[in-house]
Amino acid sequence: MITFLNNFEASAPNNVVQRAFLSLQEEMQSEKVGYYKLPRRSLEVLEDAKDIDTSRFSQIVVIGIGGSSLGIKAIDSILRPVNKAAKEILFFENSDPLTILSQIQKIRPAEAAFFIISKSGSTIETTSIFKTLLHHFALDLDVKDNHRVFAITDNNSDLSKFALHHKLKTFYIPHNVGGRFSVLSAVGVVVLHFAGYDVEAILRGAANFIERFFDKKEKHLLEKAYFFYKNSKSLSINVLFSYADSLENFNKWYVQLWGESLGKIDVNGEHVGLTPIGIIGATDQHSFLQLIIEGQRDKTLTFIAVENFQDDIAIADITLEYIEKTNFVNGKNFSELINAQCKAVMQSVEEFGINTDFIKLDIINEENIGILIIYFELLTSLVGSMLKIDTYNQNGVECGKKILYSNLSKKV
């Protein structure tokens, strides 16, 4: 179970909220936007993946970037501490040669399943790394290694044609699902199933929450979206303050989702958007909190905490000379300490007039992670609708890709 608590004034005019709600409802019913129905439809993808004997693989290699990897990485990072039987997943994302060389050394090619993931099918970082791995391990796509290389892409993309040519097993991303909203599609479902996670529970959590939302049982989400929209010019930065190390990659997933979806030009030609920042408690209390409290008042804070970490350790009940003043925590569990730190920081920033909201997971499990994913996707769509932008395009990113292609294609 997840508890959502908004600590700000959120009296929202019915016409604004209702218009945004109806906009999302229309996007879902018309199938203009496809992520709303993924929690149900991806069950078919999961059944297809179950036909493959995954016991042949002890290692998963993911070749993808942005929306093709961040969601998988987020869920894997969150669940791995509580699912120690999960198979190792190696991620190849960036063009950094040192990281690529380091990751290559970890691959056991005879035990690995390779996933190349690209919605467009021609992402330059992804295809470049894929070529390099094929060459380095001398992978034979037509005979002996055909069974261990999988493609996840749009139907009829360049990558899908390549996969068809080599008879590679291919899973398709629906055309109406953008990359940053695709983690509950084949992108996440297939890879996480191969790794040994309970994907059905992830999808069930997301499906139940989205049904409650459209049944108007998650009013807090509409209130939060309106607050962000109403204050988007004065409170233009949202800081996701997650009190668990395992949520660090979730923060990165949120940063892409929020930034790429909401940084746009609206219907009036104005530049709008909300800047996302992801930080980790208690670590970043010692680096970022000063800026929040005494810096410019242009930020809201969303706190995420875990009530029950399941595994825990007690602080040693010993006295250190000259440091006796810290004895008040002796014998307490570290989960108590980190949650007390979260509560204290949230209380302190509120006393300084900073607007906050709070998300508490009772435990870390697949169902809760499914809820968390769809919660932030719905929130993004709601704010985008209120800002009167196209939440799902990414013209700024496409411009950069065109320049890159042009520059690298020039003859020296």
Which residues of the chain register pLDDT less than 50? 412
In which element (H, E) is residue 273 found?
none
Q: Are residues 174 and 217 in the same domain?
A: no
Q: How far apart are CA 248 and CA 73, in angstroms?
A: 10
Residues 134 and 101 sit within 8 Å (Cβ to Cβ): no
Last residue of a domain, one of 197, 229, 263: 197
Q: Is 347 helix (H, G, I), strand (E, B) or coil?
A: helix
Q: What angle do CA 309, 199, 183 make, to 5 degrees?
A: 95
* pLDDT of amino acid 399: 66
Give residue 295's identity as a one-letter amino acid code.
Answer: G
Query: For the domain that residue 178 is a member of, what is the CATH number?
Result: 3.40.50.10490
Residue 403 in domain: no
Residues 89 and 76 sit within 8 Å (Cβ to Cβ): yes
Residue 396 in domain: no
* pLDDT of amino acid 8: 85
Q: Are residues 224 and 353 in the same domain?
A: yes
Residue 84 in domain: yes
Count of domains observed in the chain: 2
Q: Are residues 258 and 124 in the same domain?
A: no
Q: Print the domain residue range for 318.
A: 2-26+202-391
Q: Are residues 55 and 172 in the same domain?
A: yes
Q: DSSP character for 155?
A: T
Render pLDDT for 173-204 as a digit per residue (tens, 0 to 9): 999 999 999 999 999 999 999 999 999 999 99
Q: Report the helix count and the strand count for the chain, using DSSP H and E.
A: 14, 12
Q: Are residues 213 and 350 in the same domain?
A: yes
Last residue of a domain, one of 167, 197, 227: 197
Q: Are residues 182 and 241 in the same domain?
A: no
Judging by DSSP bridges, how do beta strands 264-265 and 275-280 pair with one another?
Answer: unpaired
Q: Are residues 244 and 317 in the same domain?
A: yes
How many other CB atoms are there within 10 angstroms of residue 4's CB atom? 15
Structure tokens given for 85: 């039987």
Last residue of a domain, one of 156, 179, 197: 197
Q: Are residues 53 and 18 in the same domain?
A: no
Residue 301 vs residues 224, 228, 238, 338, 354: alpha-carbon distances, Å? 12, 11, 6, 17, 8
Alpha carbon 326 to chain centroid distance?
Answer: 37
Q: Are residues 211 and 226 in the same domain?
A: yes
CA dihedral sign of residues 133, 135, 136, 140: positive
Model pTM?
Answer: 0.94
Residue 399 in domain: no
Residues 156 and 120 sit within 8 Å (Cβ to Cβ): no
Residues 249 and 77 sit within 8 Å (Cβ to Cβ): yes
46-76 burial code (b ≥16 CB/10 A, e <16): beebeebebeebebbbbbbbbbbbbbbbbbb
Alpha carbon 231 to chain centroid distance?
Answer: 24
CA dihedral sign of residues 229, 233, 234, 235: positive
Residues 16 and 385 sit within 8 Å (Cβ to Cβ): no
Alpha carbon 72 to chain centroid distance?
Answer: 7
Judging by DSSP bridges, how do beta strands 355-363 and 169-173 pair with one another?
Answer: unpaired
Q: Are residues 228 and 162 in the same domain?
A: no
Residues 159 and 117 sit within 8 Å (Cβ to Cβ): no
Phi then psi for residue 195, to 5 deg, are -75, -15
Q: Are residues 299 and 340 in the same domain?
A: yes
Q: Cβ contacts of residue 7 below 8 Å, gap of 6+?
A: 346, 350, 355, 356, 357, 358
Return the bridge partners of 360, or none. Answer: 3, 305
Q: How far apart are CA 174 and CA 179, in angstroms?
A: 10
Phi/psi-derived region of residue 156, left when phi > 0, alpha when psi is between -120 and 50, beta in every other case: left
* pLDDT of amino acid 409: 75
Residue 148 in domain: yes
Residue 398 in domain: no
Residue 404 in domain: no
Q: How far apart are CA 37 and CA 32, in angstroms?
A: 11
Q: How far apart are CA 165 and CA 161, in angstroms?
A: 6
Residue 408 in domain: no
Q: How far apart are CA 365 and CA 73, in angstroms?
A: 15
Q: Is 151 helix (H, G, I), strand (E, B) or coil?
A: strand
Q: Are residues 167 and 305 in the same domain?
A: no
Q: Which residues are catalytic?
A: 260, 286, 401
